[in-house]
A and B are shown apart, each in its own frame.
Chain A
Amino acid sequence: MLLKIKRVLTLVSNHQKDETAEEEEGEGCGRNILSKCCINGERLPLYTCKPAEENVTFLESVLLGEWEDRFQRGLFRYDVTACETKVIPGKYGFIAQLNEARHLKKRPTEFRVDQVLQPFDANKFNFTKVSPEELLFQFEANMPLDADNSPRVVAINVSPIEYGHVLLIPQVFDCLPQRIDHKSLLLALHMAVEAANPYFRVGYNSLSTFATINHLHFQAYYLAMPFPIEKAHSLKISTTNDGVRISKLMSYTVRGLLFEGGNSIKDLSVAVSNASVCLQNNNIPFNFLISDSGKRIFLLLQCYAEKQALGEVSSELLDTQVNPAVWEMSGHMVLKRKEDYEGASEEKAWSLLAEVSLSEERFKEVNTMIFEAIGCSGEEEEELEEESSIRVNCCT
């Protein structure tokens, strides 16, 4: 039985149609649609990581320069910098934005919320249908190009949450569904590392957590503020054989794990992708946030879509039309209604996200699964005293 859910639609491409409408495109060039012949090395800038040098701002320059170009050409549905934004007073500093244009009119839609993995459907909108102008550049990490030369591209999100909001689409022509594998996560991690900017974060939403499109992609944007989740304390649980430290988030409204360290970028990526693959194979919805220039990855679990479909969420929360995807879970909330923005408080943000979060028991069960998949002990350290705050505000 398909569960019905009121999902608030957002467009990420100017060529994205209503999912319930008939798709008639896909016929090749001349129709302004992305086909293999439209991407070639010369027309689309190719950006490759430089292994030895520290090229701190180059990726940032390409991304910002191309994004600003599309911005001035009017390819975005609205000017996101004209949307008022503020930090909500409180301990964590949740960030709220008033953005009436991002989410389109709410309407019911048939949407499988009970499946984290769903097969690619060529009839639905996917990234081979975007206009070439929405592509910014190809991105190849320190990985050998595939034999079939399947490009990994970076495209704009035409309904940006913040300036610089892009989509990283690995192997765009392979039409992979939204699911994590080792290679794709490593690419996303490389992008964060290469950007070398703690305010450029890369995020992933699995299908049951309000991913908009079932075509493998990651999102990223710039916001020069800390996210609340980045301030949360964590308690170390374990370390993998490759030196990846896994901690549990403490005193944050959403339950999740923090992965950091590792002897190499690859080690960190493998730990998180093993965990993600385990979750998606067990049909457990999750998101992750790559933060701190690729040094910290937050793996978050949620159950909002299912709760919503079963009618277990209050109507006040539903009325805010917030889709709790990775950005919201990290503490960046885009609000559609002025009254929600004006009345935004830390308590409200906290309780909305608490609705999203797993229960402690369920979280423990999921943790056990994850640790088995990663291959290390999931037992928490015996001294379970919560790490007390080490920050002292001196007032001299």
Chain B
Amino acid sequence: MSITQSSASLFTTTEEEKEGTFTTRYSLWIKEALDELPHSFTITDPFISGHPIVFASPGFLKMTGYSREEVIGRNGRAFQGPKTNRRSIMEIREAIREERPVQVSILNYRKSGSPFWMLFHMIPVFGNDDGRVIHFVAVQVPISGQKMRNGSGCSEMVFGSCRREVCLGSFVHQERALPVECDEQELENWEHCEASESEKLKSAEAVGSVLSVLTRYSEFAGRLVCGKRNCLRGADCLSSSLVISLGRIKQSFVLTNPCLPDMPIVYASDAFLTLTGYKRHEVLGQNCRFLSGVDTDSSVLYEMKECILKGQPCTVQILNYSNRKDKSTFWNLLHISPVRNASGKTAYFVGVQMEASCKDIESKELRPETRQLSVVGAVRVAVRSSFMVTC
């Protein structure tokens, strides 16, 4: 199944923003520098909804048969298929969630639909100043399954080996090499395909090269990255895994941190930015009051404040002022609720916005109130597993 068969194009105005932030982080020439590397690799951004690929090397495109446009904006899962080992998929997912490196053999599929085994080696890249994960770099080394000697003439043989099912009638013992003239049907049925020592070294070397280019260019841009986390992530900074989870929620909402002075916004969904007309960097770190204005009812504001102090959920109808082109105001049916993390204590407040004019729209499927509460529920599930410190 080719990924080009999937849903709508991702090229909205925010798409340009996404591309832009990549070059802002690393400076304008980063793409050319990365294009010069011979390896197959991708770079993903966990802070963009869907954790998409933001850069794919020519080597990757050649290996998979896709064009750059078909790959940028897609999640790495798009290259997996029906016979990809589920446990390996889980290993990668958990490495992302825990922000740590992983190296695993996995079956992927090209654009043509043909499967191939590769060694997938991924590392997180951290911001030097704030300790958060900026990107994940993933290198792909095809596994040939052929016998190889290591270069220094050591008597020990290094090899790649692949194991097929016994019931196919042929069986390869781990110490013999497998000539790779088997057809693709059989490739899919292999339980596992171990990479050779030299293939593992290749992947480590590729990862090192990419990281070194990123480090150098981030320095030029004055926003250094590195392969290790050099400082603890700040309290105003969410873990990349929490951000990835929140990115699945398509409605307008924000998370605020009641433990920080003036209860600032620490997360804002894309839909919130569209609704209010603000850019992300304009709202992060700000208290929500910037949405209120002259005609906003102060008694409503008072009611909200009381609920927050008592740690209770509430729903209010409040007049908000947007930053959209027409600078229009809108009636916001706002629902606020405290959200606890794994410690059992309140870590955030979630605010879910609903433009009042949308409330009355006949929804064939989900009542607007239910949809609003479903955002709260999804946030609770995401935050519940995040183990950050609370006040």
Contacts and interface: CB of A to CB of B under 8 A. Distances in A.
A167 to B, nearest CB: 17
Contacts of A395: 101
B265 interface: no
B373 interface: yes
A224 interface: yes
Contact of B373 (A68, A239, A381): A68
A226 B89 CA distance: 12
A72 interface: yes
Contacts, number: 142
A395 B370 CA distance: 46
Q: Interface range on chain B: under 10, 10 to 19, 20 to 34, or 35 or more? A: 35 or more
B74 interface: no
Contacts of B343: 84
Given A68-B380, A163-B377, A61 B90 contact: no
A394 B211 CA distance: 14
Given A226-B94, A396-B123, A390 B340 contact: no
B385 to A, nearest CB: 4
Contacts of A340: none
B381 A58 contact: no
B208 interface: yes
Contacts of A89: none
Contacts of B174: 383, 385
A225 interface: yes
B366 A65 contact: yes
A164 B376 contact: no
A223 B386 CA distance: 11
Interface centre among A199, A292, A382, A396 (most CB of B within 10 A): A396
A260 B250 CA distance: 31
A240 to B, nearest CB: 12
B33 interface: no
B243 interface: no
Interface in A138-179: 162-164
Nearest to B380: A163
A199 B313 contact: no
A42 interface: no
A314 B372 CA distance: 49
Given A61-B371, A84-B344, A292-B86, A393 B377 contact: no
Interface stretch (B61-69, B102-110, B291-299, B326-334): B102-110
Interface stretch (B8-16, B37-45, B165-173, B216-224): B165-173
Contacts of A60: 374, 378
A230 B90 contact: yes
Interface centre among B192, B245, B340, B384 (most CB of A within 10 A): B384
B35 interface: no
Contact of B101 (A68, A164, A231, A393): A393
Given A62-B366, A382-B166, A222 B123 contact: no
Contacts of A239: 165, 167
Interface centre among B192, B366, B369, B374 (most CB of A within 10 A): B374
B207 A396 contact: yes
A67 interface: yes
Contacts of B211: 396
A137 to B, nearest CB: 10
A282 B83 CA distance: 34
Interface in A299-340: none
A224 B343 CA distance: 15
A1 interface: no
A163 B373 contact: no
Nearest to B200: A392
A83 interface: yes
A18 interface: no
A57 interface: yes
A85 B380 CA distance: 14
B91 interface: yes
A361 B37 CA distance: 56
Nearest to B167: A239
A391 B91 contact: yes
Contacts of B30: none
26 contacts: A57-B250, A61-B366, A62-B366, A65-B370, A65-B373, A66-B370, A68-B373, A72-B313, A79-B340, A81-B340, A82-B340, A85-B342, A163-B377, A163-B381, A223-B385, A224-B385, A234-B87, A236-B191, A292-B90, A383-B163, A385-B174, A390-B194, A391-B104, A394-B101, A394-B102, A394-B207
Given A198-B93, A393-B102, 10 more contacts: A63-B377, A65-B366, A65-B377, A81-B380, A84-B343, A239-B165, A381-B166, A391-B103, A393-B101, A394-B121
Interface of B: 86-88, 90-91, 93-94, 100-105, 121, 123, 163, 165-167, 171, 173-174, 191-192, 194, 200, 204, 207-208, 211, 227, 245, 248, 250, 313, 337, 339-340, 342-345, 365-366, 369-374, 376-378, 380-382, 384-385, 387
